[in-house]
Amino acid sequence: MNDTLLTIARRFSCRDFIDKPICESDLLTICKSALASPSGMNRQNWQIVLIENKVIIKEMEDEGLKNLQSYHDKTLYNRIMGRGGKLFYNAPCMIIIAIKERFPKGAELIDLGIVSQNISLAATSMGIDNCHCGFAAFCFAGTKGTEFKQKLQFFDGYECGLGVLLGYARESKKPHDLNLEKLTIIN
C-alpha cells in the first residue's frame, strides 16, 4: 500500500483526546489541505474556522449539550451521555467548516464532506487523531447561536456545516471493518 492508502486505512474516529496541544505549523498545514479541496464549479463556498481557544470550545460544548437535552426526543442526548457526556471528547482543537447554501440546494453538503475528509486524512497522515463532528452544529441551534457565529467570525450568510475535532488519542483504535456487501462489481 502507498502512503495515501495507508492513511485512509489507518484513520479512525477518536473519542478520547489527551491534553496535548498541536503545533501551529501542523494546524496550518491541515487548514491548507482543507482549502485545497475541490468544490463544484470551484465556488469554494466554505469558511475554515480553526478554534484553539479551550474556553470557547468548552462554552460551545456546554451549549451544544444544553440544546441537545432540550429536545423532546432524547435519543441523541442519551447517546452522548452514554459515551461519557462529552460532545468534543476533550479535543484541544476543533475546526468548524462553515458553509453557504449553493444552487442546486444541497450541493454545498458534498463540498462540505470533501473538506472534512481532506482535514481528517491530512491530520491522520501527520499522526494527528481526529473525529468528524456533526454534533458541533447543535452549539448553534439555540439562543447562543448568533453569539457563537460572531465569536467565530462567520462570514455573512454562513452556517455551521460540520466540526472536525483534532488532537492526540489516549489510545489508538482499530478502524471499522470493511463491509464488502456494500460493494457491487458489474463485469
Contact stretch for ligand FMN (CB under 6 A) within 7-15, 41-49, 65-73, 145-153 = 7-15
Contact status: 131 vs ligand FMN (CB under 6 A): yes
Query: Which of 18-21's residues contact partners 24+ apart within 8 Å by CB, and which partners?
Result: 18/90, 18/167, 18/168, 18/169, 18/170, 19/90, 19/92, 20/92, 20/167, 20/168, 21/52, 21/92, 21/93
- Minimum separation from the CB atom of position 48 to ligand FMN (A): 16
Peptide bond into 104 cis (omega under 30): yes
Looking at the Cβ atoms of 112 and 152, the one nearer to ligand FMN is 112
Contacting ligand FMN within 40-99 (CB under 6 A): none
Contact stretch for ligand FMN (CB under 6 A) within 42-50, 131-139, 140-148, 179-187 = 131-139
Taking each helix axis from N to C end, the angle separating 107-125 and 24-35, rounded to the nearest 10 degrees, works out to: 150
Q: What x-and-dash track marks residues 12-31 binding ligand FMN by CB under 6 A? A: xx-x----------------
Sheet holding 129-133, edge to edge: 46-51, 93-99, 159-167, 129-133
Contact status: 182 vs ligand FMN (CB under 6 A): no
Contact stretch for ligand FMN (CB under 6 A) within 36-44, 68-76, 127-135, 179-187 = 127-135
Looking at the Cβ atoms of 180 and 186, the one nearer to ligand FMN is 180
Looking at the Cβ atoms of 156 and 177, the one nearer to ligand FMN is 177
Return phi, psi of residue 53, to 5°: -80, 110
Looking at the Cβ atoms of 172 and 186, the one nearer to ligand FMN is 172
Pairing assessment for the beta strands 159-167 and 93-99 based on DSSP bridges: antiparallel
Residue type (1 letter), 180: L
- Minimum separation from the CB atom of position 139 to ligand FMN (A): 11
Kind and range of the H or E run holding 79: helix 75-82
Q: Give contact residues for ligand FMN (rule: CB under 6 A).
A: 12-13, 15, 131-135, 162, 175-176
